[in-house]
Amino acid sequence: MSVLLFTLSLAGLIYQFWEYPWGNYLLAISILLITIFILKNIKMTNRIIIIAMLVLSHLIILVERNISFDQWSYGFVKSLPIVALLLFVPLLQIPLRLGGYTKYTQRFAINKLTSPGRYYWVTAMIFFLLAPILNISVYHLYYDIIKNIPLNRKIVILGMQRSFSSVTTWAPYFIAAGIVSTYVPFKLLNFLLPAFFVGVFQLLFNYLLFCIDVRGISDREQFNAPVLKSDSKATKKVLAMALWIIVLMVSIIALDMVLQKGILVVVSIAAIFQALGWSVAMGKTKLFLKALVPYFKERGPRIINESIFFLSVGFFAEILNQSQIGSWIAQSITLLAANTSLYFTMLMIMLFITVLSLLGVHHMIPITAIASTIPAQALGLSVNIYAIMFTFTWSVAAVLSPFSPMTVLLSSTVNANPFEVGPVWNGKAVFILIFVVSILLYGMNMLIY
């Protein structure tokens, strides 16, 4: 499986720069055959969704009879860089581990965890640094740091969830921004600045909601974190890690301006060279190269579910975009905007996606269905605000849904019930946040567009 995914993602990256003969057909047929071959190894829930997406897509093709083989193959190939993102971005974990950054992060964090408020901000700072590299794997790493500190479980979970969701809104390394960029053609630099602003605002407002949610708990339970002596080496390591993240961001922006090949491709290539460059700068080139083989052997099976799921949903979205159903969706939402207001339309889209996720429909499905069929201009939205609306909604839908990988993984890590963690602990906060951020996005659009 690892070899198949590695070969497929590499072939997909090469095709972005060299459209070799019959490449789109070969890649599309390969994706379909690989999907069929490994379906038995995919989790039951994802397997049902994948089969449903593929069957529905081909039924649409059969009924409408106006979708060509070129459009069919493009439906698969368009989403192929998603696999490269999932496979290559976590390469940055190797220099992170080789440099001992996780160990020093632990020493830095423990010395700061003295109250619920400080826990939230230390968690937010570490997640802003580590989550773009580790994605949801950051939960395991961070919980290993704090598990011996006597913290209330609800405080632990809410602080981690709401910090992580704020990063999802802006970070170009995340799958949310990558997938949205496939359907909403924004320029990274133009997107990044307002998206980071919204992410920081989300983090600040989440802090107010966090304080309200844990107020009774923090009154009853005091933090008894061990206070260590000031550790200048740990602080320097954390600052060095922050510097590398800034360098990575700059390299991604520069590559995007030079290559103009889409965020998924740019981020994947930047991650490869940055991981190597980081290791060379630390004098650990041989150790980095030695770690590549076990990395790919382990990484392949871990991303198989996500890869095939995202490819299938992306294919469905592209077929939907070419169909009469897609036209009907676009006309319905455009009509809603024309007969109500832009703000109400934005709010309804965000609430619709979030409620569907609560019911078990992965948020990628409605996001790609809407983003692929309705251009931002049709609603009177800036392309960047349109993209941020989707990445923000992705972030809060993942917090609310008890079925999302983020909620499921965090709940299992901290030994909690995902149906309590998602709807019960976060329901009110998520819907309040949607109303507040929708107003912010509407105001930003009025200024920008």
SS (H, E, C) the chain: CHHHHHHHHHHHHHHHHCCCCCHHHHHHHHHHHHHHHHHHHCCHHHHHHHHHHHHHHHHHHHHHCCCCHHHHHHHHHCCCHHHHHHHHHHHHHHHHHHCCHHHHHHHHHHCCCCCHHHHHHHHHHHHHHHHHHHHHHHHHHHHHHHCCCCCCHHHHHHHHHHHHHHHHHHCCCCHHHHHHHHHCCCCHHHHHHHHHHHHHHHHHHHHHHHHHHHHHHHHHCCCCCCCCCCCHHHHHHHHHHHHHHHHHHHHHHHHHHHHCCCHHHHHHHHHHHHHHHHHHHCCCHHHHHHHHHHHHHHHHHHHHHHHHHHHHHHHHHHHHHHCHHHHHHHHHHHHHHHHCCHHHHHHHHHHHHHHHHHCCCCCHHHHHHHHHHCCHHHHCCCHHHHHHHHHHHHHHHHHHCCCCHHHHHHHHHHCCCHHHHHHHHHHHHHHHHHHHHHHHHHHHHHHHC
Reported pTM: 0.89
Give the per-residue pLDDT at 219.
43
Give the per-residue pLDDT at 114.
66
Give the per-residue pLDDT at 148.
67
For the chain, 449 residues long, give each residue's pLDDT as a single digit of tens. 677 788 888 888 888 888 877 878 889 999 998 888 888 888 888 888 899 999 999 998 888 877 888 889 988 888 889 888 888 888 888 988 888 777 777 767 766 666 778 888 988 888 888 887 777 777 777 777 677 666 788 888 899 899 999 999 999 888 899 899 999 989 888 999 999 999 999 999 999 999 998 886 754 445 555 555 556 777 787 888 888 888 888 888 888 888 888 888 998 999 899 899 989 988 999 999 999 989 888 888 888 888 888 899 989 988 888 888 888 888 888 888 888 899 999 999 999 999 999 998 889 989 998 998 999 999 999 999 999 999 999 999 999 999 888 888 888 888 889 999 999 999 999 999 999 999 999 999 999 87
